[in-house]
Chain A
């Protein structure tokens, strides 16, 4: 039971989104086990990506998606909303992440709406999966757009929220990746896209990327795309896993190798990112990190709690700095 819950805690629920959210792609065909040789992603770590490179990278991703991974995820697509099932730990994580997002947003946006604390705010939920976090944010009054590259998850999410009249008007989903949404890849010849891009940029009050960053091959690009879609002064909320010996022991060895709860290779320890590293990356993309808070999962009670140590899981809140004119 311990291993079960722990596995769920760290399971690659979004791991098989091999078409990683920001376009960085593995050139290999499938996930390899941690202990085996890892091939570095072929994606360059520069910010300026041309259309061609992106297009080729993306088409490569389509073909490099492991059919096993996809099938595994398709079979789990209906299980998102089983609160005692594979995703129980993610359901339980809402007890931490929803208040975290809500309270930090309320600090900034102090309009008083009893019953709908986040009314009037537009939020983007990246890697929304079945909508586990999207729905609570919608119930709190925000207009939420949930995106996820896996279509089956989006279908599940849409089906679940369509039953509730309150959510139908506030929550919508789209099967796409972040860079598709932010239209960073603007080719020179397409002026309309440029116009749309300008319109689409900077439209969200908050961006949420929960349990996503540890699956990206190119977090730098992700950070750039996030700053692109956020309004100046908008908030970015990330929850992810730290890159420490402890997280290796629990997330990789215990969950994947010893107990085989999570398919081998779902998480790659190399992709875990430490708060310091993430902070550096965000700050170089125009963010200011406001708070970092450790999270701990208790597999026996199935509940999460805040903790001092960020050694395994942590949550981070950053704010996109306003584009102030440079002082003389």
Chain B
């Protein structure tokens, strides 16, 4: 039986190699197949999970919790596979971590429904009420806020805290959700859509430990370089932005009611300051690879100077643009006299946090298909965006909410969870939401990456006009809040 399994898996691997045209050596595939199944570790006929989620990041863990807490899915066996170790946070560390995310109200609702939001607010999170986005090349600016600064627009939460909260929630559901940490997947074996007599109709996941697990539905939440997506050979539209993001924790010069998110578009890329507390903020500076390198190598003082000047200086503005800008503004205020807002300046920075600055490359990616027979992709595995709009993880949480709802309905109708019909519904619904958002973000990135006068004039006018139309701003905020 094991020999047959090994042989089949080896053949599968070979077949995939030829079909997908990957440059993986045949020897590697065969040896992997021989390694994955060892005698005595056969899971047996009870080893079929209903759902396996590959990847325990924010989105993967949220998916596991969401499925585990869904009443129609109670009794289903769910497994989460995470290559890293378990992230436990008994006490919130004093220093902030550098990787943060902006959690939209829609995502907060999802996290609240799975019981993780309470944990997050108990640990640490910073709501903000206003966002100011302005151009370095002109005076144009746009501010977003809910009426009269009553409600929160969104929340800045450290990624570690989100994962720790979700982990805690999963710990409280041991009957439904099983988690295997330090489990790296080495091989996926896909089932044939039509059942052949002797074949296994389930997805088989081979782990580095030699164990193989089977599942009726595999959810790939393994990030922008998704192994699931690559193993399936799903065509992906992707490109690298010639930018890297530098992240750090900033100490402000003086304590302030820090509830505004700031983003300024420099010609080299946007720089954003996101509030963490009254005295600290998070920096996300997307800039060219070269400048990112320099920023990382600078000493602390020069780095702080660079940040302050990026936010405050006006050297990029030419006279012509300034004149044009003020012309636009007066023209628009003639049409809409009441709208418009004065430009505020962000708080100045005095120092940076103890954890080192980090940089990572930026790119865009979109899988043309989110689903295949018995497989679905969620989060960055399906779509990867520029951080300028703070939407990356929110799109992922949106995927979680949609897929959970569809799987719940399918289970209530007695369907096989891996059936393609509801998976295609998920794909259609999410692609319809994600693609416009991704196009808008990519467009913004390109539009703001240049100094050229026509582009600057266009975006100046566009930004000022949008700023003066409250209904349009509300639409934008609503779309981004889902």
Q: Which residues of A contact B (CB under 8 A)?
A: 81-83, 94-95, 98-99, 102, 114-117, 135-140, 159-160, 163-165
Q: Closest approach, in angstroms, between the C-beta of A55 and any C-beta of chain B?
A: 36
Q: Are B48 and A83 in touch, CB under 8 angstroms?
A: no
Q: Which residues of B contact A137 (CB under 8 A)?
A: 414
**Number of A-B pairs, beta carbon distance below 8 Å:** 54
B71/A114 in contact, CB under 8 A: yes
> Would you mind naming 6 contact pairs between A and B with Cβ atoms under 8 Å apart?
A94-B414, A114-B72, A116-B75, A136-B413, A163-B195, A163-B202
Q: Could you say which residues of chain B place their CB within 8 Å of the CB of A95?
A: 413
Q: How far is the CA of A163 from the CA of B71 in the complex (A)?
A: 25
What is the bound-complex CA distance between A148 and B454, given in angstroms?
74
Task: List the B residue with the shortest CB-CB distance to A92.
Answer: B421
Whether, in the assembled complex, B74 has its beta carbon less than 8 Å from a beta carbon of chain A, the answer is: yes
Residue of A nearest to B46 (CB): A165
- Is there contact, CB below 8 Å, between B414 and A140? yes
- With contacts A83-B420, A115-B74, A115-B76 taken as known, whether A102 is within 8 angstroms of B414 at the C-beta atoms is yes
B197 at interface by CB-CB < 8 Å: yes
Q: Does B45 contact A (CB under 8 A)?
A: yes
Chain B nearest CB from A269 CB (Å) reads 32
Distance, CA A114 to CA B197, complexed state (A): 34
Residues of B close to A136: CB separation below 8 A: 413-415
B residues in contact (CB < 8 Å) with A: 45-46, 48, 71-76, 194-195, 197, 200-202, 216, 411-416, 419-421
Q: Are A115 and B414 in contact (CB under 8 A)?
A: no
Contact for B197 among A117, A159, A165, CB less than 8 A: A159
Contact of A115 among B75, B195, B413 (CB under 8 A): B75
A154 to B76, CA, bound (A): 27
Q: Which residues of A lie under 8 Å from residue B415 when comparing CB positions?
A: 94, 136, 139
User: B194 contacts which chain A residues (CB < 8 A)?
Assistant: 81-82
Contact at A163–B414, with CB atoms within 8 Å? no
A81 touches B195 (CB 8 A): yes
Q: Which of B71, B201, B202, B414 contacts A139 (CB 8 A)?
A: B414
Contacting pair B413 A94 (CB below 8 A): yes
Identity of the chain A residue whose Cβ is nearest the Cβ of B44 in the assembled complex:
A165
Contacts of B74 in A (CB 8 A): 114-115
Task: Pick from A94, A99, A115, A163: contact of B201, CB below 8 A.
Answer: A163
Contacts of B411 in A (CB 8 A): 115, 139
The chain B residue with its CB closest to the CB of A164 is: B48
Contact A135 B48 (CB under 8 A): no
- Of B201, B414, B419, the most chain A CB neighbours within 10 A belong to B414
Assuming the contacts A163-B201, A165-B45, A165-B48, asked whether A135 and B71 have C-beta atoms less than 8 A apart, the reply is no
Q: Which residues of A contact B414 (CB under 8 A)?
A: 94, 98, 102, 135-140
B44 CB to closest chain A CB (Å) equals: 9
Give the nearest-CB partner of A117 in chain B. Answer: B412
In the A-B complex, list the 6 residue pairs whose CB atoms are closest, starting with the nearest.
A136-B414, A115-B74, A115-B75, A139-B414, A114-B74, A114-B71
B318 → chain A closest CB, angstroms: 57
> Given the complex, which residues of A lie within 8 Å of B76, measured CB to CB?
115
Bound form: Cα–Cα A164–B45 in Å: 9
Q: How far is B414's CA from A139's CA once the two chains are assembled, in angstroms?
A: 5
Once the chains are docked, how many angstroms separate the CA of A72 from the CA of B411?
34
Set of chain B residues within 8 Å of A139, measured between Cβ atoms: 411, 414-416
Q: How far is the CA of A164 from the CA of B418 in the complex (A)?
A: 12
Q: Are A115 and B45 within 8 A (Cβ)?
A: no
* Assembly CA distance A102 to B71 (angstroms): 16
Distance, CA A135 to CA B411, complexed state (A)? 12
In the bound complex, CA of A99 to CA of B75 (Å): 20
Bound form: Cα–Cα A139–B72 in Å? 12
Q: Are A98 and B46 in contact (CB under 8 A)?
A: no
Contacts of B420 in A (CB 8 A): 83
Our pick among A115, A159, A160 for the contact of B71 (Cβ within 8 Å) is A115
B contact residues around A135 at 8 Å (CB): 414, 416
- CA distance in complex: A95, B74 (Å): 21
| Residues on the B chain within 8 Å of A117, using CB | 412
Contact A98 B413 (CB under 8 A): yes
B454 to chain A, nearest CB (A): 47
Residues of B within 8 A of A102 (CB): 412-414
Additional pairs, 11, CB under 8 Å, beyond known A95-B413, A102-B412, A115-B71: A81-B194, A83-B419, A94-B415, A114-B72, A114-B74, A115-B75, A137-B414, A139-B414, A140-B414, A159-B195, A165-B48
* Contact partner, B200, options A99, A140, A163, Cβ 8 Å: A163
Bound Cα distance A95, B73 (Å): 18
List of A residues within 8 angstroms of B412 by Cβ: 102, 117, 140
Bound CA–CA A135/B415 (angstroms)? 8
Contact A99–B195 (Cβ < 8 Å)? no
Q: How far is the CA of A9 from the CA of B451 in the complex (A)?
A: 62
Q: Write out the residue numbers on chain B whose beta carbons fall within 8 Å of the beta carbon of A82.
A: 194
What residues of B have a CB within 8 angstroms of the CB of A165 in the complex? 45-46, 48
CA distance A231 to B295 in the complex (A): 79
A78 to chain B, nearest CB (A): 9
Quick one: closest A residue to B50, CB to CB? A166
CA distance A81 to B195 in the complex (A): 8
Q: Which residues of B contact A160 (CB under 8 A)?
A: 195
CA distance A115 to B412 in the complex (A): 7
State in angstroms the CA–CA spacing of A153 and B47 once bound together: 28
Residue of B nearest to A82 (CB): B194
